Chain A
């Protein structure tokens, strides 16, 4: 490992911030912290870290929480990558921050090394999908595949990858199961992330509306 990845932690609970800082290992370095939407936007703009660990529920701003930080930092999305952190793995929380531009999400109960791994993966430009997020994606896009590369459907391969992740497979295990490289798995996951962020699929909107998301 060369340079540690620079990280800003955004969470309104000081205890959680310091605990997380202690848990992360030396592959990342925490360069800043913020506790509200305004602070977060300012700190991120000033420091331009590689990765922002962003709590979904944040005070301040117009009450939009993590999603508001993302929309207000939209100009930086190319350089700064966001990883959502949440106590809640409710669909409405998770999917809305992903749609706003986050590259993945981890629950706050995840261990230090797990979060570190996720940060590194996001810093590389990949997406971090938990089993539950994969489940949401499958639920939202439907489980029947299409052959061509449509924006609002998943390809057969992407479906397979999503299913395995939902079953609790790590990227490495998915690669082994499907006889493809880890890099290919990451490509598939990133493609799914892009579809999730960009699609206006009718069923997805309805699925979201049923759950009062975005």
Chain B
């Protein structure tokens, strides 16, 4: 039998225009979808043979997912589930009964195909039978009803299982009121369609309007509860997803930062300086994360200053307290000068952390186009004139740098500590381009 190529099973495909029959058939036969579709359409002109063939396949051929589920669920013998079902579990308690109901529900759905076929046959029989009895049912009544039923079935089949469940529950179809509403809606649709079709003999504009209104009202009545519920579910789902993402972000952040630091602290418990430094760095980082201002980018002067202070703090293990009043965006035109101020501040902080031996206070005030930075420590202090000429630290990188960029630097040192005072005027900012 190896001459026969293995064909994919005949199932209705998911990429469908109507019911997926053509694309499923094309895949099964190894033909192009367009070709199959044209064949069906053309053969539909031959006395409706194509439509009949299509309908037959639609009813009899399962969709891909249905087929997969059936294969997964159904054991070798089709009798097995039926045999095992009554045997399992006591039915006296509520829980098993509920479970069984849940189990039975999809099975009912699985039989929908046979039911559909049966209904079509019964309707045909009624028509033929009534024809024999002389009560001729006009085609004008049958066609609209068939159209409505066909349309509803089409819509129904476009939904997946969970959506169908939701629709049934959302429309309240399980309750008496739900059935009434559903019936009223369907009746309205039927009235509308009937009017629209039979309207040819009256042909009044008002009637046509009435007909379309009735159709719309009917559809709305049937689908409104479900639509509302769907919309609510959608909103709830979206906000739940946002919350979940936020939680995940927080968890990830805590894991990467706080937990890691705690682990490190446990391992370094003996080294007091290390523990302090770790705790301090973690505190700063967490604070930054918790209180960061999302409206602001990372590009302001104080952001940079705080980042530099954090570097110094990490490098020397001395706390550097930064207090900022006002702020300035870093603008391209002033970049060079503000950068000089920042580097001078950094040098001052480094000196303070190195020689001050204690907490370093940094205060920055940016207002009216002037930036002031003060760096204070409580070290033993030093005499600027006594610093050897070859030591570049203070003289060059603080005082000289500020002068070169049109700023000022003043160092006040005494027995109670040293304060470096830096000032830079940004002329353009004074011209009205201050922070809004």
Contact = CB atoms under 8 A, between A and B. Distances in A.
B324 interface: yes
Given A90-B291, A173-B416, A132 B323 contact: yes
Interface stretch (B95-103, B121-129, B359-367): B359-367
A135 B363 CA distance: 8
A131 interface: yes
B361 A131 contact: yes
Contacts of A118: none
Contacts of A90: 287, 290-291
Given A143-B365, A163-B365, A168-B376, A131 B291 contact: no
A203 to B, nearest CB: 13
A23 interface: no
Interface string B414-431: 001001000000000000
A138 B324 CA distance: 9
Report which residue of B287, B325, B419 has the largest number of chain A beta carbons within 10 angstroms of its beta carbon: B325
A135 B374 CA distance: 13
Contact of A138 (B287, B290, B321, B365): B365
Contacts, number: 43
Contacts of B106: none
A157 interface: no
Interface residues of B, number: 17
A167 B374 contact: yes
Nearest to B325: A138
A207 B325 CA distance: 12
B298 interface: no
A134 B361 CA distance: 13
A143 B326 contact: yes
Dominant SS among interface residues on chain B: strand
B321 A167 contact: no
A167 B170 CA distance: 65
Interface string A134-173: 1100110001100000000000000000010011110001
B321 A132 contact: yes
Contacts of B416: 173
B361 A135 contact: no
A166 B363 contact: yes
Contacts of B376: 167-169
A143 B419 contact: no
Interface in A73-124: 88, 90
A174 to B, nearest CB: 12
Contact of A131 (B326, B363, B367, B419): B363
Contact of B325 (A143, A169, A173): A143
B325 A167 contact: no
Contact of B361 (A138, A139, A163, A167): A167
Contacts of B287: 88, 90
Nearest to A162: B325
Contacts of B374: 167-168
Contacts of A167: 323, 361, 363, 374, 376, 419
A173 B326 CA distance: 25
A166 B416 CA distance: 17
Interface in B343-381: 359, 361, 363, 365, 367, 374, 376
Given A90-B291, A131-B361, A143-B367, A168 B321 contact: yes
A88 to B, nearest CB: 8
Interface string B320-333: 01011110000000
B241 to A, nearest CB: 26
A144 B434 CA distance: 15
Contacts of B325: 135, 138-139, 143, 166
Contacts of A143: 325-326, 365, 367
A168 B361 contact: yes
Nearest to A138: B325
Contacts of B359: 168
A163 B324 CA distance: 11
Interface in B269-314: 287, 290-291
B269 to A, nearest CB: 17
Contacts of A168: 321, 359, 361, 363, 374, 376
Contacts of B290: 90
Contacts of B367: 143-144
Nearest to A140: B325
A121 B206 CA distance: 89
Contacts of B361: 131, 167-168
A170 to B, nearest CB: 9
A166 B363 CA distance: 6
A193 B102 CA distance: 68
Nearest to B373: A167
A21 to B, nearest CB: 22
B323 A134 contact: yes
Nearest to A131: B323
Contacts of B291: 90
A70 B321 CA distance: 28
A32 B209 CA distance: 82
A29 to B, nearest CB: 29
A139 B290 CA distance: 21
3 smallest CB-CB distances across A and B, nearest first, come from A168-B361, A135-B323, A167-B363
12 contacts: A90-B287, A90-B291, A131-B323, A131-B361, A135-B323, A135-B324, A143-B325, A163-B365, A166-B323, A166-B325, A167-B419, A168-B361
Given A143-B365, A168-B374, A168-B376, 6 more contacts: A90-B291, A134-B323, A139-B326, A168-B361, A169-B376, A173-B416
